[in-house]
Structure 1
Amino acid sequence: MEGRELRNALGRFATGVCIITTTTEERVPIGMTANSFAAVSLEPPLVLWSLQNNSEVYRDYAAARYFNINVLSNEQQALSNQYARKGDHAVASEHFRPGKYGAPVIRNALVTFECELDATHAGGDHLIIVGRVLNMTHRPTGKPLLFYGGTYGEIH
């Protein structure tokens, strides 16, 4: 099986789009777009996401004690595109407010899960990062930004 063939097949699974945020050792707010987010447990409240081993911000995320998973609305496609680009992970001040534990909260996200690192696991070419949800904020309205088959979509 070829890598591209597997990637295309995995793309047939519709996902939400998130921006994972944290701060560097120098306290610079950073963010990256991801769709590898999943719930793990309600008790204790655990979630996970996956970080590619060759990511240019691998060290920052792998070492982060606190991080936020910001679930984007369908109005935030431009933010998703911005933080998906290589070399452009510093979060613009107008895009966030500081979270309760220091990691950036993306303004107008549908939901933000503020997490403390619980565990990491090697997973092939990715690091699986499990976070314990310490705080959660959400908007009462809005639709999610979806990704399917290599393009964005919406719920109709």
Structure 2
Amino acid sequence: MGAVFLGFVVSFVVSSLYTGVVLATYKDQSNTTAHVLYFAHALLNGALVGALVGKMAPTSGGARIGGAVIATLGTFFGYANAVPFVILKEQSEFVLRDMLESHPFYPAKAWWQNGADGGVAWPNLLGLLVAVAAAWGIAHLVGTKRGQAHTGPQL
């Protein structure tokens, strides 16, 4: 339980940093740059959460699953939390309030839909897969390495 909670804290920090990076650079980002930043965020989030979970709970499958879920949620909310901040920066607090009152799930919809044709934004879904794979894989690697620590020759 403690490993997953600390993974949550780390994921929150990484997601907040990603939201800040998006807020600071969204005007200068191309579509490719936005996708690369999103994938880097997913990989970093998953890797840090996985390393922490693998270090604290090396043999717990439940902690690995919890870490993968936390990394996935952190990846999603890092993106979704940036949307209201960009709206607030570009428009006003009245526009943000109206958006939250009339379309409270707009940030999730913006994450899910491709802006060009309204279809599914596949890179965003693949980013979740990257976060899951990184969290699970690194937790497994760190956990098995820790469990097989070599203590030296036994004489």
Give the TM interval when normalised to the shorter protein: under 0.3
Larger CA Rg, structure 1 vs 2: 2
TM-score under structure 1 length normalisation: 0.22
Higher fraction of helix = 2
TM-score under structure 2 length normalisation: 0.22
